[in-house]
Amino acid sequence: MGFLKTRGSALGVAVVALMATAVWSGEADAASQCGGASWYSAGSRTANGERMNASALAAAHRSLPFGTRVRVENLSNGKSVVVRINDRGPFIGGRVIDLTRGAAEQIGMVKSGVARVKVTVVGGSGKLSSNCS
């Protein structure tokens, strides 16, 4: 902050405005992955060693780092949930994420078992390559 104080208020305002824009637009600029989602509740441990908790807001993804938080939006009803990646999968073609039953309930897909979703990173260092149109 010392640099901003010595360089004048106009520059300081411009830098602060630029920083705010970068922080606030992070999710809008994030790449999204679209595809199928399913839900699961079986298993005693997740791939990162945690005890499986079917009511937790968690998910399995093939490549995102454990701990990454993603927003999962059900494209048929617009409902979304933020989950934490703590497992690996899905291992069925066309699917991009497996949700716990608790997360699946939040986006209204328990009865159908599968849904078309949009996955967007909202926290953590994970990156997705965009395939949504």
Each residue of 76-117: pLDDT tens digit?
999 999 999 999 999 999 999 999 999 999 999 999 999 999
48 confidence band (pLDDT: 50, 70, 90): very high
Number of residues that this document lists for the chain: 133
Which residues make beta-bridge pairs with 87? Answer: 60
> How far is Cα 82 from Cα 98, in angstroms, rounded to an integer?
13
Residue 130 domain-assigned? no
> How far is Cα 23 from Cα 5, in angstroms, rounded to an integer?
22
Residue 75 CA: distances (Å) to CA of 50, 52, 93, 128: 30, 27, 19, 18
Which residues make beta-bridge pairs with 83? Answer: 70
Provide φ and ψ at 40, rounded to 5°.
Answer: -145, 155
> How far is Cα 99 from Cα 109, in angstroms, rounded to an integer?
10
> How far is Cα 45 from Cα 43, in angstroms, rounded to an integer?
6
pLDDT recorded at residue 98:
97
74 and 10: one domain?
no
Instruction: Report the number of distinct structural domains present in the chain.
Output: 2
67 and 118: one domain?
yes
pTM comes to 0.77
Residue 16 domain-assigned? yes
46 and 93: one domain?
yes
> How far is Cα 65 from Cα 59, in angstroms, rounded to an integer?
12
